[in-house]
């Protein structure tokens, strides 16, 4: 399960930072960017507890 | 900025103890303890940690809710682009060097918490006084974090009047209600223990940093330029309160209590080597460089595109909401919450050390109430550049006493670890060495409104010199007087 969660966590971080980059490059509209970032946020908090398990300290 | 020991959990300031009476070094434990805190002994080899733990901790800890305030405050203060970009670079470098070459060597040599190291020099009763100062300042710091979070909670509710940089008093009843509700939740969680919040903070750290970056990218997109030098140049006629050196000293000393003040002995004592002090670079250059600049761009946009007066500024919540939407609001709330909560917890422990019979829950409740009341007044958050300087200048000087004791005491004829060596519980030399420069500093601050970060180094150096002079004089009189 952990490798899958790691992929999801990485995707979540991608969804957080790539849409603003696309917005900067005028390749994405602002509302879509904000929705993608919210999706990335939700995905991150679902996947990160498993993806980062054992690395807390 | 910093949070006050955000996700550390390494040691507690409120541990109760009898004064040390032995002159020998503290024992090394070979067995694991409940919680593995090693509060009154050196950290054993098996409990020491590798470098990754420190890089991760520093990176997460210095991306806090208050970063959303500090970046825009530089813009409000009219700092020029060169001063900001260059000053932050040099100031953060000096901060990293302080961690690496001042804090980490002492931490890995003795492997004690600040509180125990200090207790062995100045006695238990004086440590209690330090804890009181620490506890009160923690409450105000946590209050600023609650204020920042409340600006995000208030976004969906138009009835809540957001404070500006010039507000010092509560803006309206709805604002007070929002802060009260947030403060109550944070205090309740702190009373229950902050393990869960620390875990959330740890998980949120990489995502939070990227939200800061996202805010910066979106602002660049909306401003239609990638030229940071041009964007960060203040508008014509906007007076500048600090220049290059003001930014350098602020960036260097905003965490003065942690590095030159030796508070991070409690963390770095777990490091295998002093070179782990370099890990602080992760916090300084991600949180205190990139995140501050991204946050500054938020206000630059509001000034240029929406005509906001930079001196009045804008609360972080609405700016982040406008930039990145719900993800930003969640980030502001989590960043404030995960940093305010351990601060309330630690303030409670500091208060508990004053009255050992008081339960931790009661002490945390007192700290939470103080923090919530402080949070209603935007004065602390909106004057964060000043407050952080006051905080560092007040607490950092005890680090000068520790450095003087470790490296110079023998050469100057001062008894090393005086309290542990003599069995006394109050080192008057330390009190005077701390109080005299501090009294001069507060007088200068109130009289001339000197930027506090300019005074941190002079106060620090004067404390160290005074300790050596007074220590030699007072300790000799005490010994010859048969005390």
Asked whether residue B120 is assigned to any structural domain, the reply reads yes
Q: What is the DSSP letter of B40?
A: T
Q: How many CB atoms lie within 10 A of CB B25?
A: 14
Task: Report chain A residues whose CB lies below 8 A from the CB of B199.
Answer: 56
Token code pair at residue B310: 């930079």
Asked whether residue B466 is assigned to any structural domain, the reply reads no
Asked whether residue B470 is assigned to any structural domain, the reply reads no
* Residue B52: predicted pLDDT: 85
Asked whether residue B409 is assigned to any structural domain, the reply reads no
pLDDT tens per residue across span B341-396: 878 887 887 788 778 788 888 988 999 999 999 999 999 888 899 999 999 999 99
Q: Of chain B residues 325-344, which have a CB less than 8 A from chain A?
A: 325-328, 330-331
Please tell me which residue of chain B has the smallest CA distance to A56. Answer: B202
3-class secondary-structure state, position B42: strand
Number of structural domains (chain B) is 1
Q: What is the mean pLDDT of residues B441-464?
A: 95
Mean pLDDT of chain B: 87
pLDDT tens per residue across span B256-289: 999 999 989 988 999 999 999 999 999 999 999 9
Residue B153 belongs to what domain range?
50-394
Distance in Å, alpha carbon of B333 to nearest chain A alpha carbon: 13
**Helix axes B81-98 and B292-306, enclosed angle (nearest 10):** 160
Task: Report chain A residues whose CB lies below 8 A from the CB of B324.
Answer: 20, 33-34, 37
A16·B210 Cβ contact <8 A? yes
Task: Give the DSSP letter string of chain A.
Answer: -HHHHHHHHHHHHHHHHHHHHHHHTT-S-HHHHHHHHHHHHHHHHHHHHHHTTT---
A54 touches chain B (CB under 8 A): no
The CATH number linked to B355 is 1.20.1740.10
pLDDT band for position B6 (cuts 50, 70, 90): very low
B129 touches chain A (CB under 8 A): no
**Helix axes B124-153 and B326-352, enclosed angle (nearest 10):** 160
B217 touches chain A (CB under 8 A): yes
Q: Is residue B459 left, alpha or beta, with left meaning phi > 0 and alpha meaning psi from -120 to 50?
A: alpha
Asked whether residue B275 is assigned to any structural domain, the reply reads yes
What is the Cα–Cα distance from B409 to A36, expressed in whole angstroms? Answer: 59
Element holding B260 (H helix, E strand): none
Phi, psi of B92 (to 5 degrees): -70, -35
Asked whether residue B309 is assigned to any structural domain, the reply reads yes
**Is pLDDT at B150 greater than 80 in this prediction?**
yes
B159 touches chain A (CB under 8 A): no
Element holding B48 (H helix, E strand): none
* Residue B78: predicted pLDDT: 92
**Helix axes B173-191 and B326-352, enclosed angle (nearest 10):** 60
What is the Cα–Cα distance from B119 to A40, expressed in whole angstroms? Answer: 48
Please tell me which residue of chain B has the smallest CA distance to A24. Answer: B221
**Is pLDDT at B19 greater than 50 in this prediction?**
no
Q: Partners of B42 in the beta sheet?
A: B28
Q: Partners of B271 in the beta sheet?
A: B49
Phi, psi of B24 (to 5 degrees): -65, 165
Residue A4: which residues within 8 A CB-CB, separation 6 or more? none
Asked whether residue B9 is assigned to any structural domain, the reply reads no
Q: Partners of B49 in the beta sheet?
A: B271
3-class secondary-structure state, position B271: strand
B53 touches chain A (CB under 8 A): yes
Token code pair at residue B352: 């508990």
What is the Cα–Cα distance from B443 to B453, expressed in whole angstroms? Answer: 15
Phi, psi of B28 (to 5 degrees): -105, 125
How many beta-carbon pairs under 8 angstroms link A with B?
70
What is the Cα–Cα distance from B18 to B358, expressed in whole angstroms? Answer: 17
Q: Partners of B88 in the beta sheet?
A: none
Nearest in space to A38 (alpha carbons), one of B214, B250, B81, B151: B214
Domain boundaries, chain A: 7-48
Task: Report chain A residues whose CB lies below 8 A from the CB of B286.
Answer: none
Q: What is the mean pLDDT of residues A20-29?
A: 96
The pTM for the full model equals: 0.88
Q: How many CA atoms lie within 13 A of B236 on its CB side?
A: 0
* Residue B320: predicted pLDDT: 95
* Residue B5: predicted pLDDT: 41
């Amino acid at each position: 399960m952990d490798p899958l969660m790691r992929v999801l966590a990485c995707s979540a971080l991608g969804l957080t930072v790539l849409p603003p980059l696309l917005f900067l490059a005028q390749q994405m509209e602002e509302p879509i960017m904000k929705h993608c970032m919210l999706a990335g946020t939700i995905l991150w908090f679902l996947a990160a507890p498993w993806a980062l398990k054992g690395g807390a300290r | 900025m910093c949070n006050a020991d955000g996700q550390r959990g390494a040691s507690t300031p409120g541990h109760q103890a009898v004064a040390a009476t032995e002159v020998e070094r503290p024992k090394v434990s070979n067995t694991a303890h409940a919680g593995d805190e090693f509060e009154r002994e050196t950290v054993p080899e098996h409990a020491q940690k590798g470098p990754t733990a420190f890089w991760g901790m520093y990176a997460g800890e210095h991306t806090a809710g208050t970063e959303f305030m500090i970046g825009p405050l530089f813009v409000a203060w009219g700092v020029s682009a060169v001063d900001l970009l260059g000053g932050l670079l040099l100031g953060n470098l000096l901060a990293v060097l302080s961690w690496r070459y001042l804090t980490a060597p002492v931490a890995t040599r003795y492997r004690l918490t600040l509180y125990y190291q200090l207790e062995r020099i100045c006695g238990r009763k004086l440590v209690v006084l330090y804890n009181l100062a620490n506890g009160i300042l923690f409450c105000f710091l946590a209050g600023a974090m609650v204020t920042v979070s409340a600006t995000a909670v208030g976004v969906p509710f138009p009835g809540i009047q957001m404070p500006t940089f010039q507000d010092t008093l509560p803006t309206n009843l709805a604002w007070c209600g929002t802060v009260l509700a947030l403060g109550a939740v944070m205090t309740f969680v702190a009373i229950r223990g902050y393990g869960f919040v620390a875990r959330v903070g740890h998980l949120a750290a990489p995502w939070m940093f990227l939200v800061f970056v996202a805010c910066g990218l979106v602002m660049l997109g909306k401003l239609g330029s990638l030229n940071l030098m041009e964007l960060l140049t203040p508008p014509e006629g906007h007076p500048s309160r600090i220049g290059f050196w003001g930014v350098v000293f602020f960036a260097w000393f905003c965490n003065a209590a942690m590095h030159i003040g030796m508070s991070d002995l409690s963390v770095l004592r777990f490091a295998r080597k002093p070179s782990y002090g370099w890990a602080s670079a992760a916090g300084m250059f991600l949180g205190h460089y990139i995140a501050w600049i991204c946050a500054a761009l938020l206000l630059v946009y509001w000034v240029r595109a929406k005509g906001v007066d930079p001196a009045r500024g804008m609360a972080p919540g609405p700016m982040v909401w406008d930039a990145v939407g719900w993800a930003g609001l969640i980030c502001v709330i989590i960043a404030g919450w995960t940093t305010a909560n351990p601060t309330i917890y630690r303030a409670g422990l500091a208060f508990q050390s004053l009255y050992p019979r008081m339960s931790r829950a009661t002490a945390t409740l007192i700290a939470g109430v103080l923090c919530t009341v402080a949070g209603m007044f935007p004065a602390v958050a909106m004057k964060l550049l000043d407050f952080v300087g006051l905080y560092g200048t007040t607490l950092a000087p005890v680090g000068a006493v520790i450095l003087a004791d470790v490296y110079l005491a023998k050469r100057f004829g001062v008894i090393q670890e005086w309290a542990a060596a003599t069995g006394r519980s109050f080192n008057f030399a330390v009190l005077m060495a701390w109080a005299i420069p501090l009294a001069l500093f507060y007088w200068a601050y109130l009289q001339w409104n000197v930027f506090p970060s300019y005074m941190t180094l002079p106060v620090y150096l004067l404390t160290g010199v005074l300790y050596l002079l007074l220590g030699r004089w007072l300790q000799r009189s005490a010994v010859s007087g048969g005390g």
